[in-house]
Structure 1
Amino acid sequence: MANESIVNVRFIDELKGRGLFASRDIAAGTVLFEEKPLVCAQFLWNECYHYEACEYCMRSMENAEEMARRLSANPSLVLPCMECCKAEKQNFVHCPHCRVAYCCSECREQAWNQYHQVLCLSQHPPDPNHPLVILQEVWKTMHYPPETTSIMLIAKMIASIKQAKSKEEILASFNQFCHVPQNEERQLSHKLLGKQFEGQYEALQPLLLNALHEESVAQWFTPGGLRSPFALIGMNGQGVGSSSLSVYVHNCDELDLEAEERHNLDQFIDQLYVEMEKGIVDIMFVHSKYLLVSESGAFLNCEGSALYKLQSCCNHSCVPNAEISFLHNNSTLSLVALTDITEGQEVLISYLDKCCKERSRHSRQKELRENYLFSCDCSKCRLQCDDPDVTSSEEEEEEEEMEDGEASQAKN
């Protein structure tokens, strides 16, 4: 939950909309608020690579040793200091009908009450001709890693509306997110999914209609209208990552050890990551199918996306004073102060990843315009306003590789 004594939401102007502001002085390192998502979903290809996550909260459900064995392709690997692993397998439960996994009975109950009655496949293994199964399989042929969203995020939004006692209330929750004009939805939704997705709304729309039609959002079930939820996610969606192994490594770092023990443990963990990185390989396509060529594909964590009501109010800066973290190995989001923040100051995060944030002003602005439809006017961008509008050769090479990948994907 938000700590109302620390932050509050204010309307700024028509261009920026809302923003989050400090209601008192805040010290660096302070957790400003913690927030559970309205809805979250694991990426489907991430799930295919056997990343086991709670269907409701995305908690990583392998223990650290199981995850390390799978990612390093070493079934006999033994992790030291397993007391640092906090996976509580004794609490894990399943849906009694479709056997979907949950980290605890509370998550199972909350999922059932919010959306799972609609999305439950009723049997295990699922019927391959079930409309939801077909929808997911077709989606995977359209949207390969690196994944930016999942059709199941939209499916959970629709199922939440279908199950809601007050459809108006849940619709109001989704409508409070930032929306874009219809003429910009096309640009944003295609950027979220990739250029090759341009002609595939028409293929996806009847499958979604057959699986989940809901009259209160009937406009979403048309080829043009389907862009709206994708554009909403493009503007407001937040990536989520969880990993029992990362929790284990963090807890190992906190151990009070003698110098030699610390050296040996750090060396072991460093080598473990070297072995796991060997499993991260380039995406390959064979006969229009995704070839599973490693234990992890392009992933090292359980990954997905989510919608957060309060986090979506945070505006961007290339010099942020706060950052998003997932401190509980699930989809509960924590906003942590990076610097001291004074009362009345706006709380700002970066919409750019660490690598992109360090690039030229021209490159940052290009990324923000294409992905979020605005130009940044933060202090760093103003300071660099006279820098030449050029893109480095390294960035150009990355863009060419991405475009080549998209072209190959479209061809297949």
Structure 2
Amino acid sequence: MIDDEVMADKGFFIKLVNDEKGKGLFSNRAFKEGDVILEEKPVICCQFLWNSQFGYLACDNCLKPLETAEENVRRLTGNPNFVVPHKECCEVNKSLITECHQCGVKYCSVECQNEAFQRYHSTLCLQGKVKDESHPLNQLCETWKQMHYPPESASIMLLARMVAVVNQANDKEEALAMFSQFCHRTISNDTHEIVHYLLGEKFVGQIDILQQMMKESLNTEYTAHWFTPDGFRSLLALVGTNGQGIGTSSFSRWVKNVSALELPKDERIYIDKLIERIYDAMDEAVGPFLNNEGSGLYVLQSSVNHSCIPNAVVEFPYSNNTLVLKAIRNIKVGEEICTSYLDECQLERSRHSRQQALSSLYLFVCHCDKCQAQANDPDITSDEEESDED
């Protein structure tokens, strides 16, 4: 549990900003560009269901890739003949991979397997019924996939793991309190809107189906308040507004490691051209779906607010679920630490376009310095601006 007290030894503290923004993360010391502000493991995380369906092999606990860089390249390019040199730069150790002896779920290590079993997996283990389409959990996953096509932004299994964590906790009240730390808008209309976005307009009416299927799949004795009509929508809203996307890749880690090698000039030129050729082949075969992806709930990260001129960025440099918040410019003592909820391309769009995206995705109006400076700009989208210029 994280309280709101100043964490002097951490270099940051959490405090209430205002009723609209809720909590925020503030610096307790100066950070320079490139400094790591914090590292954090998630309360819970899981791989996206379609991501798994498409063959992205990852540890079921920490999302670390389970395929080598060469295997990753061959699968994503569709070329079984690609050879990746300097295999010592690949961080995947297949000799450490283990699996649940009851359902076959794979892990990167015995430590991850034990942690998963103790926290949630004993509740969710299919016990030899992995291919049983009639199993309630399998039916739940298939129903979700048909409601939420890629690119995914959430997973019903994240909610299932939350329930399982509470069920397996020795102190169930403490486990429930852990999840209650995540702020989310509970006003009826706002909750409906975020759930509306999470599932897609066509399927909003089927939320009750998911609610009932989860109750049939899991023991919800200790989380009964999550499964009232309003409670379930609120739970979906919590995941929708706080879920942090996680991306891992054995090939990208190989690229980073091989790029750090001291190589003869001719070999460096060859490696650089090979990397470029592989990325081009991947882009042609799978487009933007290069990484293993999932989502997780992070207590500290969830307190970080948005700005259209962010001073920090979220990264996953270890190719697992460990989140790193890094300064991208100098940060003064007492300054609020903000990331962008929008991608780089969206940040370059007009104020009106940014506000539309933030309103539909996260249900708030941005009042950052950039938005206030552009407050008198016309309310037209970037596409309309481009049309006017044409």
Deviations 1:194-245 (A, max 9, x none): 1122111122222111101312321332444321111001111100000000
Matched, 1:121 2:126: yes
Matching residue's letter, 1:374: F
* Separation of aligned partners in 2, 1:115 and 1:396: 50
Q: Are 1:45 and 2:50 an aligned pair? A: yes
Q: Does 1:259 align with 2:265?
A: yes
Tell me how far apart the structure 2 counterparts of residues 30 and 233 of structure 1 sit (CA, whole Å): 29
2:249 to 222, 243, 246: 243
Q: Does the 8 A contact of 1:148 with 1:193 survive in 2?
A: no
State the superposition RMSD in angstroms.
1.8
- Greater shift, 257-266 or 267-276, is seen at 257-266
For 2:129 and 2:78, locate their aligned partners in 1 and report how far apart those are by CA, in whole Å. Answer: 28
**Cα contact 2:195–2:204 (8 A) shared by 1:** no
1:48-76 Cα shifts (integer Å, max 9, x gaps) = 11100100111111110000011111112
- Counterpart in the other structure of 2:114: 109
8 Å CA contact 1:3, 1:33 repeated in 2: no
Q: Secondary structure at the match of 1:266?
A: helix
Counterpart CA distance in 2 for 1:240 and 1:6 is 24
1:209–1:245 CA distance, 2 compared to 1 (3 A): same
**Pairs within 5 Å for 1:11-410:** 11-123=16-128, 125-183=130-188, 184-280=190-286, 299-393=289-383
Contact 1:213 / 1:221 at 8 angstroms: preserved in 2?
Answer: no
- The residue type paired with residue 320 of structure 2 is N
Q: Distance in 1 between matches of 2:99 and 2:8?
A: 33
Question: Identity across aligned pairs (percent)?
Answer: 47
Is the 1:33–1:334 Cα contact (8 Å) retained in structure 2?
yes
1:304 maps to a residue whose letter is G
Aligned partner of 1:383: which letter? A
In 2: Cα distance, 1:32 partner to 1:274 partner: 34
Q: How many residues align?
A: 381
Q: Is the 8 A contact 1:139 1:151 kept in 2?
A: yes
The answer on whether the counterparts of 1:188 and 1:231 sit within 8 Å (CA) in structure 2 is yes
Offset of 1:43 from its aligned partner? 0.5
Matching residue of 1:290: none
- Long gaps (5+) in structure 2: none
Give, in whole Å, the separation in 2 of the partners of 1:396 and 1:351: 24
Contact preservation (8 Å) 1:98, 1:126 = no
The structure-2 alpha-carbon separation of the partners of 1:3 and 1:93, relative to structure 1 and needing over 3 Å to count, comes to farther
1:57-109 deviation line (CA, Å, top 9, x unaligned): 11111110000011111112111222211111111110111110001111111
Task: Name the SS of the counterpart of 1:368 in structure 2.
Answer: helix
TM-score (normalizing by structure 1): 0.89
CA–CA distance in 2 between the matches of 1:52 and 1:275? 20
Instruction: Normalising by structure 2, report the TM-score.
Output: 0.94
Cα distance between partner residues in 2 of 1:256 and 1:344 = 41
1:133 Cα deviation from its structure 2 partner: 0.9
More moved, 207-216 vs 254-263: 254-263
